Structure 1
Amino acid sequence: MKKKDYEAELEPLQVELAGVARWLKHCGKRLLVILEGRDTAGKGGAIGALQDHLNPRQCRVVALPRPSDREAGQWYFQRYVPHLPAAGEIALFDRSWYNRAGVEKVMGFATPAQVEAFLVQAPIFEKLLVDDGILLFKYWLCCDQDKQEERFAERLEDPLKRWKLSPIDLEARRLYADYTDAREAMLEATHTPHAPWTLVDFNDQKRGRLILLRDLLSRLPDRDVPPPGIEFPPLDHPPLQERYGRLKPLED
């Protein structure tokens, strides 16, 4: 999708999303959006499209590092609970507790018993969140293997994206089929009426972002909270530049 066309379609969606943020703050609702998918699928870009024009104090991105030794000894969901949204907030999870059903399972970081327990407990945990009033949306960003290879190669060559390429990512190339099997088992166990999964084609990332935003906005309740009125009277004194002179800019 051409950048010009993408930006033209994105702007009105972001304006509508800003209205959602006002509505959440007005009524005290909580919004939780989970974004999962293969490496290179486009989670970061999708989160950027969601967050770019929202107040960062209201909309937070949660991207947790690997668990500490102490966290590894906790109830599995415990480390995620402090990052859930409070009243009026939006939390965007760049990966989530579903690490256990994906990378932890495939890479052997979790035992088969731990993965099996997670698949039983995750729908129960999410039911508690939804019953408490959290608006929960789960998106899986789909990316074909040839497109993933193309994006890995781009990261390797681009010094600004090289940080995105880790040993785990490289190992994922070899285990593409295993990740597919893990995803299918996860979807079967955790696609529920109270917290369904939505799969979005992200082979074209720009188009995928638009589809995701449209879907999210269509699923939220009707909201119409106009922005607060702000009085903007003229200055009752001369601008400071006239009183003190203009600041001298830095020169090359």
Structure 2
Amino acid sequence: MISQDKQRRFEAELIDSYDEELEMELDDRMLDGEGTFTDEDRALRKMYFRELFRLQGELVKLQDWVVTTGHRLVVIFEGRDAAGKGGAIKRITQRLNPRVCRVAALPAPNNRERTQWYFQRYVTHLPAGGEIVLFDRSWYNRAGVERVMNFCTDEEYEEFFRSVPEFEKMLVRSGIQIIKYWFSITDDEQEVRFQARIQDPLKQWKLSPMDLESRRRWEAYTVAKEVMLQRSHIPEAPWWVVQAVDKKRARLNCMHHLLSQVPYHEIEHPAIDLPARVYNKDYSRQPVPGSIIVPEVY
């Protein structure tokens, strides 16, 4: 029987965990330049959190199924800068075990990696049995930023499109499921998000010189995206486009769709009984020196 005090502390712990989402929500509202909430805003907010928690609960079931069955899952997130990929990934992974579901966000290749087979540095991040890997940008860098910024030659670009269907087919034949998402936003929406980042000191780190240059080359990125979707959309690993102008809808829609693509089911677990603590009459707890206690400023 749980005492009232422990029940209160248990509920407080749950509320504290939910506050993480509330903090994110407030951050998003500030980023979007929105002020006070209207009644409609509050209703949408409640719906958003209700669905977010429900879908995150289903993702936990998916995780259990992946671990139990040894399934291997790769989810690729591509899109323009500020399209909302990172926010979606954050909500997907928020309640999952990082030992099961991890994010691969590779930096620009170093001098050694530039001389390797193009896909080599990505292969090391592929999942083993019972793992999920979310690629925050992926080998499709060559079809996007490298093409637009002239970081690859025409020959390397064409070789990529000759190789990528075969590469992904090989991964699928080996038992890896690949799901590819493109987060789509409008010209106006990207401008608003970039301007908001410029004005927000907590978000300015997200803006790099490459991001600013990508803004100037919007049309070139559009052409590169269209070619990419056309030339690498294969039955074994098709592309899925997420309408991402509304970030919250995009997150929910992406999570819902991801769950629909995996044939998971709830795994039954044995009941958990918390064992009684062992007390030793000879044990005496030693005092902690005050010099190493973190000051309680708050």
Task: Give the TM-score category using the shorter length.
Answer: over 0.9
User: Aligned to 2:156, which of 99, 105, 114?
Assistant: 114
For 1:206, the equivalent position in structure 2 comes to: 248
Residue correspondences, number: 249
Return the alpha-carbon distance in structure 1 between the equivalents of residues 217 and 270 of structure 2. Answer: 52
Structure 2 gaps, min length 5: 1-40
Aligned to 2:222: 180
Partner residue, 2:57: 15
Give the structure-2-normalised TM-score: 0.79
Q: Which structure is larger by alpha-carbon Rg, 1 or 2?
A: 2
What secondary structure is seen at the aligned counterpart in 2 of 1:76? coil
Kindly, what percent of the aligned residue pairs are identical?
52
| Code of the aligned partner of 2:163 | Q
1:236 CA drift (Å): 5.2
Letter in 1 for 2:225: R
**Structure 1 position 224, deviation (Å):** 2.3
Report the Cα offset of residue 235 of structure 1: 3.6
Q: After the TM superposition, which of the residue ranges 62-71 and 2-11 deviates more from structure 2?
A: 2-11
Contact 2:83–2:184 (CA under 8 A) maintained in structure 1? yes
Q: What TM-score, normalized to structure 1?
A: 0.93
> CA contact under 8 A between 1:33 and 1:92: conserved in structure 2?
yes
Residues 213-222 or 29-38, more deviating: 213-222
Pairwise mapping of residues 81-160 of structure 1 onto structure 2 (< 5 A)? 81-160=123-202
Superposed, 1:171-250 pairs within 5 Å as 171-235=213-277, 237=279, 250=295
Tell me the CA shift for residue 7 of structure 1. 1.1
Alignment correspondent of 2:116: 74
Distance 2:106 2:278 in 1: 49
Residue matched to 1:163: 205
Structure 1, gaps ≥5 residues long: none
For residues 43 and 5 of structure 1, the distance between their equivalents in structure 2, rounded to whole angstroms, comes to 21
Cα distance, 1:228–1:70 mapped onto 2, change above 3 Å: farther
Letter in structure 1 aligned against 2:132:
I
Measured after TM superposition, the shift of residue 237 of structure 1 is 4.2
- SS of 1:83's equivalent? coil
Deviations 1:25-76 (A, max 9, x none): 1011111100000000011101011100011111110000000100000000
Q: RMSD in angstroms over aligned alpha carbons?
A: 2.0
State whether residues 27 and 88 of structure 1, in contact with CA within 8 Å, keep that contact through their aligned partners in structure 2: yes
Work out whether 1:251 is the aligned partner of 2:293.
no
Matched position secondary structure for 2:57: helix
- Separation (CA, whole Å) in 1 of partners of 2:294 and 2:170: 56
